[in-house]
Amino acid sequence: EPEVTQTPSHQVTQMGQEVILRCVPISNHLYFYWYRQILGQKVEFLVSFYNNEISEKSEIFDDQFSVERPDGSNFTLKIRSTKLEDSAMYFCASSELVNNSPLHFGNGTRLTVT
């Protein structure tokens, strides 16, 4: 069964550094998402992306965050200057371009900011 893949599985970075989290969505999916889950908290929506542009974003997704689809397969989340509170599991997801299509998640990248 096709799956969403994310790399790396764990990223440790120092506060103030830039990180790029990578995702390869399912190949025939056209909607892409980033979610995050801070330890012990709920899964939170960050951003959705369709047709090479952001379609929705949450309050969390401020100017420090950006997304990109640099080629036909990758979907990246960049955090320009990481803060301690950015430490979380970051999940990429994708869905088909049909009504009532569920999100399919990757296994996540655990980001630790020290």
Partner 1 sequence: DQQVKQNSPSLSVQEGRISILNCDYTNSMFDYFLWYKKYPAEGPTFLISISSIKDKNEDGRFTVFLNKSAKHLSLHIVPSQPGDSAVYFCAARVTGNQFYFGTGTSLTVIP
Q: Which stretches of the chain bind partner 1, using CB under 8 A?
A: 4, 6, 31, 33, 35, 41-45, 48, 50, 55-56, 58, 91, 93, 95, 100, 102-108
Measured from the CB atom, the residue of 28 and 100 that comes closer to partner 1 is 100
Cβ at position 16, least distance to partner 1 in Å: 28
For 2, phi then psi, to 5°, come to -60, 150
| End-to-end CA, the chain | 37
Measured from the CB atom, the residue of 8 and 16 that comes closer to partner 1 is 8
Cβ at position 84, least distance to partner 1 in Å: 22
Q: Which of 83, 71, 65 is closest to 21 using CA atoms?
A: 65
Identify any residues that bridge with 34 across adjacent strands, giving them in sequence order: 47, 92
